[in-house]
Structure 1
Amino acid sequence: MSTCLSTTKLETGMLAVIATLNLIINIAWFLIIASAIFSWLYAFNVINVNNQAINMIGRSLYQLTEPLYRPIRRYLPDMGGIDLSPLIVLVILYFIWYFLNTTVASALLG
């Protein structure tokens, strides 16, 4: 009886870890999309970069997303102003999310 109970607790704990990782992946996904949109608005001069609040948002997005991009940028060649690292990070995050939700979660539930 105790083995069944501990297995259930273990499965519940693992599902909580998977849910937490899903939340982290979703937040990272949102920040990457927001950073890309912000950089386009900045590049096309749609937003006023002299505004202190806008500048603070831009710096915050940069500081939050740059650690995700930096390892990818080391291996990408210079493409003349086109940065593909956000796209590659999004693809990697998607594969991690897919693996967590199909393989790991279904193994725990099935």
Structure 2
Amino acid sequence: MLEILDWIIRIARYYEYAIIIYVLMSWLPGAQQSPVGRWLGRIVLPYLNLFRVIPPIAGIIDISPIVAILAWNFAVSGLAHLILLLV
């Protein structure tokens, strides 16, 4: 059971890294339109779009990816604790 938990946490970390990379790609012109950017967008955007309802601060700074990562970490931590309760 602990091996399953280890795999879940590892996959969750990779997804978190994908979110961070996709957000950082927005700083580079045309990076999100590259093949890698489009591939990451197909993976990451469905989750990030859940948090796009949060308006940007001062119309410029979008904090929705930060909230999305915090929610992702909270969910993974909760799932890990639930699995540990069953062991």
Match of 1:39 in 2: 26
Identity rate, percent = 22
Gaps of 5+ in 2: none
C-alpha contact 1:22 1:97 (8 A) present in aligned 2: yes
Alignment of 1:1-110 (within 5 A): 12=1, 16=4, 18-40=5-27, 42-43=28-29, 49=30, 55-74=34-53, 76-79=54-57, 80-101=59-80, 103-109=81-87
Gaps of 5+ in 1: 1-11, 44-48
Distance 2:65 2:55 in 1: 14
Q: Deviations over 1:54-101 (max 9, x none)?
A: 711122222221101111112x12432322121111101111122223
By relative contact order (CA 8 Å, sep 6+), the higher-ranking structure is 1
Judging by fraction of residues, say which structure has more helix.
1
TM-superposed deviation, 1:20: 4.3
Distance 1:63 1:106 in 2: 32
- AA in 1 matched with 2:25: F
Aligned residues: 85
| TM-align CA RMSD | 2.6
Distance 1:85 1:78 in 2: 8
For the pair shown, which has the larger CA radius of gyration, 1 or 2? 1
